[in-house]
């Protein structure tokens, strides 16, 4: 028997004011985008904005449904939209923010498990890392250099071979 360990390091900033201009701008865009979330059931509004390699910004917001499982997260709306509108154009960075109508929004929220799996697949497809910037409406900001870091021992296309 051997023990193995996994883990990753990421950057923690005390606030958005510590970010470089490009990263701060992207996070502000994600905060603006979350106004278009449709979250009448959870009241948890999520906005995501990507900067693509061609300089274009693409937004995604969570879109809920009266049949709860039909709802889709902001990250997957964004990924589907980006790859449909700009096929073959790599995503460089995605900023994700949220507004919780029932609570506080002062710390980063991480992508859910399904979104981690989806992000990992898109990252693999484009052969280059997708950076993630996570932040609430205020408070600390996390920067993760590669989305797949969030999914250690993840299942991927290589497992199907």
Catalytic annotation, residues: 75
CA–CA distance, 52 with 17 (Å, rounded to integer)? 23
Of 30 and 74, nearer to ligand THU (C-beta) is 74
Contact letters for ligand THU, residues 94-133 (x by CB under 6 A): -----------------xx--x------------------
Q: Does 44 bind ligand THU (CB under 6 A)?
A: yes
Please count the other Cβ atoms lying within 10 Å of the Cβ belonging to residue 118. 20
Please count the other Cβ atoms lying within 10 Å of the Cβ belonging to residue 143. 19
Q: Closest separation between CB of residue 45 and ligand THU, Å?
A: 8
98 neighbors 110 (Cβ within 8 angstroms): no
45 neighbors 57 (Cβ within 8 angstroms): no
Report the interhelical angle of 113-126 vs 74-85 (nearest 10°).
20
From candidates 62, 97, 105, 118, binder to ligand THU by CB under 6 A = 62
Q: Does 144 bind ligand THU (CB under 6 A)?
A: no
From candidates 25, 42, 81, 117, binder to ligand THU by CB under 6 A = 42
Q: What would the two tokens of residue 43 be? A: 């009241």
Q: Does 75 bind ligand THU (CB under 6 A)?
A: yes
User: In terms of DSSP H, where are the helices of 34-73?
Assistant: none
From candidates 24, 27, 46, 134, binder to ligand THU by CB under 6 A = 46
What residues line the site for ligand THU (CB under 6 A)?
39, 42, 44, 46, 62, 64, 71, 73-75, 111-112, 115
């Amino acid at each position: 028997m051997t023990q193995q360990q996994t883990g990753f390091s990421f950057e923690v900033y005390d606030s958005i004011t510590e970010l470089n201009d490009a990263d701060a701008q992207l996070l502000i865009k994600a905060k603006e985008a979350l106004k278009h979330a449709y979250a009448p059931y959870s009241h948890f509004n999520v906005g995501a904005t990507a900067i693509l390699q061609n300089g274009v910004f693409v937004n995604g917001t969570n879109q809920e449904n009266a049949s709860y499982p039909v709802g889709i997260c902001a990250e997957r709306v964004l990924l589907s939209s980006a790859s449909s509108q700009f096929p073959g154009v790599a995503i460089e960075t995605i900023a994700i923010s949220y507004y919780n109508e029932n609570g506080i929004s002062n710390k980063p929220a991480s992508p859910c498990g399904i979104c981690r799996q989806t992000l990992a697949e898109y990252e693999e497809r484009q052969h280059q890392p997708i950076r993630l910037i996570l932040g609430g409406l205020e408070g600390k900001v996390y920067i993760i250099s590669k989305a797949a870091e969030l999914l250690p021992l993840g299942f991927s296309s290589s497992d199907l071979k």
